[in-house]
Amino acid sequence: MATINIALLLLCMALCLVEAKQTKTNMVFYMHDWHSGTDTTAIPVAGVKNKPWNTIQFGTLASAQVGRAHGVYVNSALDGSDLHLVLSLVFTSKEHNGSTLEIQGADRLFQEYREVSVVSGTGKFRFARGYATLETAFLDFKIADASIRWNLTVLHY
């Protein structure tokens, strides 16, 4: 029994040491999603027959560009109010160059704030988990151009 207890204690110590090295990163950025003009960042790839193929969100993370979003979103509500996001945020800025974060969640786009999960990551963000709140900063519904403010918090090693 004693050896098992010691083994568990050692395991706990090892886990606690790993736990202590975990860091928290917060970042705020804007995701631009242009469906019109010459800088298109998103195109609908499937839709409902005889209905406009409108999608919102997906594209370049910009201003001073920090990265790009690669992935898909599927409009998963009959009234068009809910997008299912599955994205990789691929960072190109100096600080996080080459690292990625995997995003998954429901984007109820008519809500002022909505929250999606950060389910994993690579590079600097290995073992990442966290969440991001999304807020629409700009939306032209007719042409589906949008700018979304992301406030993302992750724990990683």
How far apart are the C-alpha atoms of 133 and 151, rounded to whole Å?
5
Q: Which is nearer to ligand NAG, 55 or 99 (CB)?
A: 99
Q: Which is nearer to ligand NAG, 54 or 104 (CB)?
A: 104
Residue 97 as a binder of ligand NAG (CB under 6 A): the answer is: yes
How far apart are the C-alpha atoms of 154 and 132, rounded to whole Å?
8
How far apart are the C-alpha atoms of 72 and 56, rounded to whole Å?
10
The alpha-helical segments, DSSP class H, found in the chain are: 2-20
Task: Select the residue interacting with ligand NAG from 98, 111, 141, 142 (CB under 6 A).
Answer: 98
Scan residues 17-56 and list those touching ligand NAG (CB under 6 A).
28
Based on C-alpha coordinates, what's the Rg of the chain?
19
Residue range at the interface with ligand NAG (CB under 6 A); choices 35-43, 51-59, 79-87, 91-99: 91-99
Q: Interface residues with ligand NAG (CB under 6 A)?
A: 28, 92, 94, 97-98, 151, 153
